[in-house]
A and B are shown apart, each in its own frame.
Chain A
Amino acid sequence: SQQGEEDPQALSIQEGENATMNCSYKTSINNLQWYRQNSGRGLVHLILIRSNEREKHSGRLRVTLDTSKKSSSLLITASRAADTASYFCATVKWDDKIIFGKGTRLHILP
């Protein structure tokens, strides 16, 4: 079974709105990462948050981590058409095992 589970599975919003995706996981982690994938290509790293961090920002991205609830969220502010993609969370365990969730498909409407 996959460690991370994102929700929603799919999300459509108007350009300019904010998009929020959530990730839940099951076991202890070293860090949690978010990736983007365009049209079946290789994934591209967006942001990493360590287990002792609660919030992190990078440009229009904001990530939170709640280790007590074993959950994370990714917020994309002021969405653009180019943000249309699939987004995946990845949980990184202390033994270097990196497990991905099933992803959220984000569609930005013009």
Chain B
Amino acid sequence: NAGVTQTPKFQVLKTGQSMTLQCAQDMNHNSMYWYRQDPGMGLRLIYYSASEGTTDKGEVPNGYNVSRLNKREFSLRLESAAPSQTSVYFCANAERGNTGELFFGEGSRLTVL
């Protein structure tokens, strides 16, 4: 079992380009999360999905959109990338967001030039 799979692992974009980060889990968990991590800032929550069919904003949602495609998949889209979105992005999931531990993917390193 792969657990949590993020693609791509690395991406370089030019300012204004769009892209989608994909996340898939084979753990049959209900809740899924997208975080970004910048040096010295810890992880900041972008969006989360407590269950299939729902999505909610986190701490830093501006410039991003998400889709909870089904129970397994939760994608993060940058419509018009900006240099400030250069970061490492982590997808995570939990059986239930308010009761269980988070399981993380390996991260996607995004650079916006």
Q: Indicate the member of B58, B90, B97, B103 with the most A CB atoms within 10 Å.
A: B97
In the complex the two chains form, is A43's CB within 8 Å of B31's CB? Answer: no
Interface residues of B in 72-108 (CB under 8 A from A): 88, 90, 92, 94, 96-107
Binding site for A on B (CB under 8 A): 4, 31, 33, 35, 37, 40-45, 48, 50, 56, 58-59, 88, 90, 92, 94, 96-107
The distance from the CB of A10 to the nearest CB of chain B, in whole angstroms, is 11
* CB atoms of B101 and A45 under 8 A apart: yes
- Does more than half of chain A's interface fall in helix, strand or loop, or is it mixed? loop
- Interface positions of A (Cβ within 8 A of B): 1-2, 30-31, 33, 35, 40-45, 48, 88, 90, 92-103
**Pair B98/A94 contact, Cβ less than 8 Å:** yes
Min C-beta distance of B107 to chain A, whole Å: 6
B residues in contact with A101, CB < 8 Å: 42
* 8 A-B residue pairings within 8 Å (CB atoms): A40-B107, A41-B106, A42-B105, A88-B42, A92-B97, A96-B31, A96-B96, A99-B45
